Structure 1
Amino acid sequence: MTDEQPRRTTHGTTSTPTGTPDSGSAPLDPPRTGAGGELRAAADAVLARLVGAPAGEARLREDQWSAIEALVAHGRRALVVQRTGWGKSAVYFVATALLRERGVGPTVIVSPLLALMRNQVEAAARAGIHARTINSSNSEEWETIQAEVTAGEVDVLLVSPERLNNPDFRDRVLPELAAATGLLVVDEAHCISDWGHDFRPDYRRLRTMLADLPPGVPVLATTATANARVTADVAEQLGTGAGTDALVLRGPLDRESLSLGVLRLPDAAHRMAWLADHLDELPGSGIIYTLTVAAAEEVTAFLRQCGHTVASYTGKTENADRQQAEEDLLANRVKALVATSALGMGFDKPDLGFVVHLGSPSSPIAYYQQVGRAGRGVEHAEVLLLPGKEDQAIWEYFASIAFPPEEQVRRTLDALARSDRPLSLPALEPLVELRRSRLETMLKVLDVDGAVRRVQGGWIATGVPWTYDTERYAWVAKQRETEQQAMRDYVSTTGCRMEFLRRQLDDEGAAPCGRCDSCAGPRFTDTVSPAALDAALGELGRAGVEVEPRKMWPTGLPAVGVELKGRIPAAEQAAPGRALGRLSDIGWGNRLRPILTPQAQDGPVPDDVAKAVVGVLADWAKGPGGWASGRPDAQPRPVGIVTMASRTRPQLIHSLGARIAEIGRLPLLGSVRYSGDVPRAPRSNSAQRLKALDGALTVPPELASELRDAGGPVLLVDDMTETGWTLAVAARMLRRAGAEGVLPLVLAVQA
């Protein structure tokens, strides 16, 4: 196999080298002579060290060399769009070694995920390059690392994009880095563009750094997942402050080692049973992606029960556990990591043998990126998608937490403008109807736009005029819908699946691959064994999730007129409660979602749901500390049922309370009622939810009388809980009215 000579062009066009092995090197050509030949020979020598090859037996691909030559010899800015495994990291490590030999400053690599950083530090060491990283997991080392950088002891500094928006780092460290850096690398550069599937506002801070770089400092941006529009946007941003267009090197995105397929199974139980039956048939070790944390935890527990060695990897996994999981997969001590997108771009295992998706990502581009983890150093890897009926609902949830409407943005800007001091997130949160994570993301966007600034102690308004780009945000939302439809089309297509993905990325050379299930026929059957299906049904049918009570009032309530703060007195707290399931589960979540969606028609509780709730109560009663556990410290048995009033699902909640009362032979004591309008603030923050609840609930006199006479704790029944504050406020009122305890019982937790 030989490389074609690429067409080297500037922003807006592409190069077209053929695919070569994923080692990052190409077959040997006769050595060049002259200065350019000497530089090429030196570059190939660094590559040999990087890949562990004998001197003279590794050679860069032509596009790799083109990028390195542009960076090292000409100080240019370049964007490399190439498939995963092509060898993009070789470009910046080889360029770093050559530039350091010329006496320039260290390379700064902005890299998005910790696992990828760890891989890159190890890879750099093989080439004799001393790399260090600054990220959220090693804050105790930051001062030492910064001192090493100042002393010239560090060749490569890897920085997480979040660091760029930290006030101390931005104001004190970043200017020094911009002045001293010899090469700036932006890894996973598609994150810069909000036209793309994985826009991250922290990346937009790079515009400032790009503009502040001294003239002639080279910049390299790399990605495997950018369509034509994202490529043009990133290339345009790369030109910031440079006065010239960026060099764009774009290659074909086919992955010759990947065999793509789709298996459409009836439900979540069949998908889990299929995994249990067929996981060992998949080559080597790999990744099983799920759409939610709850699903990852469910699948991990089930597969372990079936005898498979797997580990969970999600955004909630502790850093030490993440590192252990990565090491176990790298060493093939586990068959698979069951992961959310927290692992998405951040793992480098050349011999990864398979990627299975239990549920469809919302974008074919995101899907291509994740499956690109497999088959980088092996001839064949299996890629399989098992779509689910719940996928659309999960997509809609994540779409609902996108950039806020203009009214909420303006309210935030007004709150900052009125303040005579910086406002921290906890101080600002009560003043706006946004949850912490969404508020922080919005502020980062406003920061880059110049409307706000993060300083020590919080955020301030700059007074710079700001315009809500309605047209752009609407276009991005529409683009998300288009991507979702494309993902549905990928599932149903009868054409080549790799060609489909490549066309989604505007890969002009897309053609049938000859390997996917459409081209070569299915490689897996949809059969599952009765034993595995029974086990999966049992696992998914297992009901019961603990509902932790609220114990502290949120900060900042006096700012919204609610005079509560500090710890909720123990005598006014709810006890730990129970839910039938989480809405994000693939078990009970799938069953509960249709009856709890805002569009669902109200009606009596379904029989299977009521039966399952009774089972949860029985397990609760017999569990540790339960009233039927027989332990000396067991809590008292509930003496009655209280329901929450509801304007949207009154029949559902009342019928659930009545069924529990009938089966448990408990009196239905009454309902906590609304005394006025309660503005619904969906997915709002805690302070705003409490502001809406303040004075809106009431315990009727007749219910208060029943509570005083009952002489024990009560079950408080509601349909679902999201923030936990409705249950907390109702429990406080019931305790004050005479209830000796309040045990919340809900159908679902929104999490």
Structure 2
Amino acid sequence: MNDTSDAGPGTLRASADAVLARLVGAPAGSARLREDQWRAIEALVEHRRRALVVQRTGWGKSAVYFVATSLLRERGSGPTVIVSPLLALMRNQVEAAARAGVHARSINSANTEEWDEIQQEIADGRVDVLLVSPERLNNPDFRDQVLPRLAAATGLLVVDEAHCISDWGHDFRPDYRRLRTMLAELPAGVPVLATTATANARVTADVAEQLGTGAGSDALVLRGPLDRESLSLGVLRLPDAAHRLGWLGDHLGELPGSGIIYTLTVAAAEEVAAHLRRCGHTVASYTGRTEDADRRQAEEDLLANRVKALIATSALGMGFDKPDLGFVVHLGSPSSPIAYYQQVGRAGRGVAHAEVLLLPGREDEAIWQYFASVAFPPEEQVRRTLDVLAGAGRPLSLPALEPLVELRRSRLETMLKVLDVDGAVRRVKGGWVSTGEPWSYDAERYAWVARQRAEEQQAMRDYATTGGCRMEFLRRRLDDEAAAPCGRCDNCAGPRFDAKVSAAALDAARGELGRPGVEVEPRRMWPTGLAAVGVDLKGRIPAGELSWSGRALGRLSDIGWGNRLRPLLSPGAPDAPVPDDVVEAVVRVLADWARGPGGWASGEPDAPGRPAGVVTVASRSRPQLVESLGRRIAEVGRMPLLGSVGQVPEAAEARLSRTNSAQRVVGLHRALTVPPELAGELAAAGGPVLLVDDLSDTGWTLAVAARLLRRAGAEGVFPLVLAVQG
């Protein structure tokens, strides 16, 4: 490349346009940066300033940092560090960089075997761009050994999807706040670029303040209009989940090109993908449970138009770059218009027309409530965690902390990351330690964030029902001052799709959603750290105390049986005998289970024996439901109802913790018991038993009850529940 270190503005602009041409694969001299792209690049390269760019998806934010990187490297600057939130986004960025002649590498959870090699390439000056996940910034080895050297050598710091820094944003990630430490350690004159497509005025101000690009700083803030002229927005309100699934089966082939169908849960994504494949559509699922190799294959298949659609959760939310993506459909409404705008922005980046369709469902609000329940914990739980760390005298890992605090592991980890950023704790080798620094609980801020979330949910209800322009609605929620009617959405130009579903498609969808049965995998390992709270359980659960694989009628997050079971099992639901339709479905589950692989009626040589009786788990919240379910199953199966795993009297009024595995097991270990009369029935039955309960949210009730039953003489335990969480 030519040295542009002494070039004037005209020469620098020409060099920038030349890099752009390589990036987009255009002939030399045929590509030209947008004026705002050029303004950002000039600020970064010529003036070494900080810049915040808030522009719509497809505007070309990545072009800014790749062109700037190329020009800065020509001037002798160190490598660009891009903090990027998703593996799919990283892979797109590495490929785009190569087109511009920029050598990019990434350090993330999927390529740990390459880290040493990459760090050596960085030391040798062979890496132009290093992409790191925000989680890397607080890995002790990376933070203490790699990050200081990286900060000293960095030529440009890029914070991609910068709305993640702000807890006002829709996708707050506390690890992003580690960037404040890196910013403080950057040498003077190192430019910083923050980019996002999904930030309203409040989020923009918060990000600007944290990155030093706010009021009073010598920074460039570029905020453009957020209209996407290629997108045609629409909402299709259908009676129920079967009609929505049937509509997709009928009409997916009519949507332009290939695209993405978003669902709110992993279970729904897998369910929808299975159904659409049975309908003859070529689709693949893409969720947080998908293995990395399968994710890569799914991305490649969509990019190459080998699939009609990926059925995805928000795991495919940010940065996936397919310019000709023809449609985005949401089967279920996200809880935030900002999140919705960000996801629909995947479509229509390089085509003149793309369809965006929302199919809201009854289950959406229950799913919103679940995700809202994992917000920042109350102050007493935070203080308890700080006290435990302060008194430990050594680092405590998450598994070691769990038995001592009442927080589920994912929520505990997020809380610790926030406390780490606030300076109250620190992650070190071996776990977490208290710093001893004073810390205050910002109750007002957390309450305000919760109110903001509630307002966003209401905005999504309003979006689905508005008679006004849908694009204008979203742009106003993003504080876009140029918001105006688009003339393209279903309210501006009239609906483009009708709600008709063929009888065959509706029957097929009802069959899919009505198909009962979910495997319930047994817990095989006790949580760590139980000895610290006086419970002598550890390691692998012995084979003689283990439950066998079980079954559930459905998942609460299903769009099929989940919709039927949620009203029965919600916290405020009245207790009543099990409904007949639910019993009939459970019987079908039992029949399929018995005849299936490994079932007691499969005829296989090593098949377990037929259940010799039914045992229920005594329930305080739904005793009629559980007892009637056990009794009905016993009657249909011509088996005796042997009794119930009960609770010791002193534990009858105690609240069983549901916050994390260790606390849950401690409570269950102390509370559950096999009454003497049930032990006698087990001995007389002389075979395995069906263990019946209403809901399995963690699997530990089944594991502890099965252990007790096996130790009391049951030859085996088949767990059977109405629903599993998740």
> What is the TM-score when the length of structure 1 is the normalising length?
0.94
Q: Report the counterpart of residue 40 of structure 1 in structure 2.
A: 13
| 2:576 is equivalent to residue 575 of structure 1 | no
SS at match of 1:198: coil
Q: Report the counterpart of residue 709 of structure 2 in structure 1.
A: 734
Instruction: Report sequence identity in percent.
Output: 83
> 8 Å contact 1:678–1:692 — kept in the other structure?
no
| 2:472 is equivalent to residue 499 of structure 1 | yes
> 8 Å contact 1:236–1:246 — kept in the other structure?
no
| 2:281 is equivalent to residue 308 of structure 1 | yes
> 8 Å contact 2:523–2:700 — kept in the other structure?
yes
Residue in structure 2 matching 1:401, options 374, 379, 387: 374
Q: Report the counterpart of residue 724 of structure 1 in structure 2.
A: 699
> What is the TM-score when the length of structure 2 is the normalising length?
0.98
Q: Alpha-carbon deviations, 1:500-553, whole Å to 9, x = none?
A: 000000000000000000000000010011111111101111111111112221
- Counterpart CA distance in 1 for 2:655 and 2:547 is 22
- Which AA in structure 2 matches 1:569? P
* 1:413-562 correspondence runs (5 A): 413-562=386-535
- Counterpart CA distance in 1 for 2:535 and 2:349 is 57
- Counterpart CA distance in 2 for 1:678 and 1:68 is 65
> 8 Å contact 2:205–2:214 — kept in the other structure?
no
- Counterpart CA distance in 1 for 2:185 and 2:689 is 64
| 2:118 is equivalent to residue 165 of structure 1 | no
- Counterpart CA distance in 1 for 2:118 and 2:382 is 38
Once the two structures are TM-superposed, the CA of residue 34 in structure 1 deviates from its matched residue by 8.4
SS at match of 2:634: helix
Identify unmatched segments of 5+ residues in structure 1.
1-32
- Counterpart CA distance in 2 for 1:679 and 1:310 is 48
Q: Report the counterpart of residue 178 of structure 1 in structure 2.
A: 151
Q: Alpha-carbon deviations, 1:634-658, whole Å to 9, x = none?
A: 2111111111111100000011111
Once the two structures are TM-superposed, the CA of residue 631 in structure 1 deviates from its matched residue by 2.0
Residue in structure 2 matching 1:214, options 176, 187, 211: 187
> 8 Å contact 1:44–1:60 — kept in the other structure?
yes
Q: Report the counterpart of residue 317 of structure 2 in structure 1.
A: 344
- Counterpart CA distance in 2 for 1:426 and 1:388 is 37
- Counterpart CA distance in 2 for 1:230 and 1:241 is 12
Once the two structures are TM-superposed, the CA of residue 50 in structure 1 deviates from its matched residue by 1.2
Larger CA deviation: 460-469 vs 569-578: 569-578
Q: Report the counterpart of residue 129 of structure 1 in structure 2.
A: 102
Q: Alpha-carbon deviations, 1:646-701, whole Å to 9, x = none?
A: 11000000111111111111111111111123644564111100111122112222
- Which AA in structure 2 matches 1:295? A
* 1:55-204 correspondence runs (5 A): 55-204=28-177
Residues 86 and 334 (structure 1 numbering): CA distance in 2 closer, same or farther, change over 3 Å? same
| 2:238 is equivalent to residue 268 of structure 1 | no
- Counterpart CA distance in 2 for 1:76 and 1:535 is 59
> 8 Å contact 2:94–2:104 — kept in the other structure?
yes
> 8 Å contact 1:351–1:377 — kept in the other structure?
yes
* 1:600-749 correspondence runs (5 A): 600-675=573-648, 676-677=651-652, 679-681=654-656, 683-749=658-724
SS at match of 1:437: helix
- Which AA in structure 2 matches 1:264? R
> 8 Å contact 2:152–2:187 — kept in the other structure?
yes
- Counterpart CA distance in 1 for 2:226 and 2:404 is 47
> 8 Å contact 2:50–2:213 — kept in the other structure?
no
- Counterpart CA distance in 2 for 1:245 and 1:725 is 56
- Counterpart CA distance in 2 for 1:286 and 1:563 is 52
- Counterpart CA distance in 2 for 1:153 and 1:728 is 53
> 8 Å contact 2:164–2:173 — kept in the other structure?
yes
SS at match of 1:357: strand
- Counterpart CA distance in 2 for 1:88 and 1:511 is 24
Once the two structures are TM-superposed, the CA of residue 723 in structure 1 deviates from its matched residue by 1.2
- Counterpart CA distance in 2 for 1:716 and 1:415 is 37
Once the two structures are TM-superposed, the CA of residue 411 in structure 1 deviates from its matched residue by 1.1
Once the two structures are TM-superposed, the CA of residue 230 in structure 1 deviates from its matched residue by 0.4
- Which AA in structure 2 matches 1:351? D
- Counterpart CA distance in 2 for 1:528 and 1:68 is 51
> 8 Å contact 2:657–2:663 — kept in the other structure?
no
Larger CA deviation: 52-61 vs 371-380: 52-61
Aligned residues: CA RMSD: 1.4
Q: Report the counterpart of residue 13 of structure 1 in structure 2.
A: none
Once the two structures are TM-superposed, the CA of residue 566 in structure 1 deviates from its matched residue by 1.8
> 8 Å contact 1:720–1:747 — kept in the other structure?
yes
Q: Alpha-carbon deviations, 1:414-465, whole Å to 9, x = none?
A: 1111112111111112111112211111111111100011111111100000
Once the two structures are TM-superposed, the CA of residue 625 in structure 1 deviates from its matched residue by 2.0
> 8 Å contact 1:212–1:241 — kept in the other structure?
no
- Which AA in structure 2 matches 1:749? V
- Counterpart CA distance in 2 for 1:232 and 1:625 is 59
Larger CA deviation: 549-558 vs 362-371: 549-558
Q: Report the counterpart of residue 18 of structure 1 in structure 2.
A: none
> 8 Å contact 1:207–1:240 — kept in the other structure?
no
SS at match of 2:670: coil
- Counterpart CA distance in 1 for 2:294 and 2:605 is 37
- Counterpart CA distance in 2 for 1:681 and 1:291 is 29
Q: Report the counterpart of residue 205 of structure 1 in structure 2.
A: 178
Identify unmatched segments of 5+ residues in structure 2.
1-5
- Counterpart CA distance in 1 for 2:562 and 2:627 is 21
Once the two structures are TM-superposed, the CA of residue 567 in structure 1 deviates from its matched residue by 2.0
Once the two structures are TM-superposed, the CA of residue 626 in structure 1 deviates from its matched residue by 1.5
Residue in structure 2 matching 1:377, options 329, 340, 350: 350
- Counterpart CA distance in 2 for 1:685 and 1:332 is 43
Once the two structures are TM-superposed, the CA of residue 245 in structure 1 deviates from its matched residue by 4.3
| 2:300 is equivalent to residue 331 of structure 1 | no
> 8 Å contact 1:114–1:346 — kept in the other structure?
no
- Counterpart CA distance in 2 for 1:53 and 1:711 is 77
Residues 678 and 164 (structure 1 numbering): CA distance in 2 closer, same or farther, change over 3 Å? farther
- Which AA in structure 2 matches 1:189? A
- Counterpart CA distance in 2 for 1:276 and 1:545 is 23
- Which AA in structure 1 matches 2:687? G
Q: Report the counterpart of residue 389 of structure 1 in structure 2.
A: 362
> 8 Å contact 1:290–1:296 — kept in the other structure?
yes
Q: Alpha-carbon deviations, 1:567-610, whole Å to 9, x = none?
A: 22211211111110111111111110010000100001011101
- Counterpart CA distance in 1 for 2:22 and 2:670 is 70
- Counterpart CA distance in 1 for 2:415 and 2:58 is 34
Once the two structures are TM-superposed, the CA of residue 145 in structure 1 deviates from its matched residue by 0.8
Once the two structures are TM-superposed, the CA of residue 346 in structure 1 deviates from its matched residue by 3.3
- Counterpart CA distance in 2 for 1:348 and 1:678 is 55
- Counterpart CA distance in 2 for 1:34 and 1:350 is 34
Residues 106 and 242 (structure 1 numbering): CA distance in 2 closer, same or farther, change over 3 Å? farther
Residues 223 and 240 (structure 1 numbering): CA distance in 2 closer, same or farther, change over 3 Å? closer
> 8 Å contact 1:111–1:186 — kept in the other structure?
yes
> 8 Å contact 1:296–1:340 — kept in the other structure?
yes
Residue in structure 2 matching 1:368, options 341, 347, 351: 341
SS at match of 2:92: helix
Once the two structures are TM-superposed, the CA of residue 243 in structure 1 deviates from its matched residue by 7.7
- Counterpart CA distance in 1 for 2:98 and 2:13 is 21
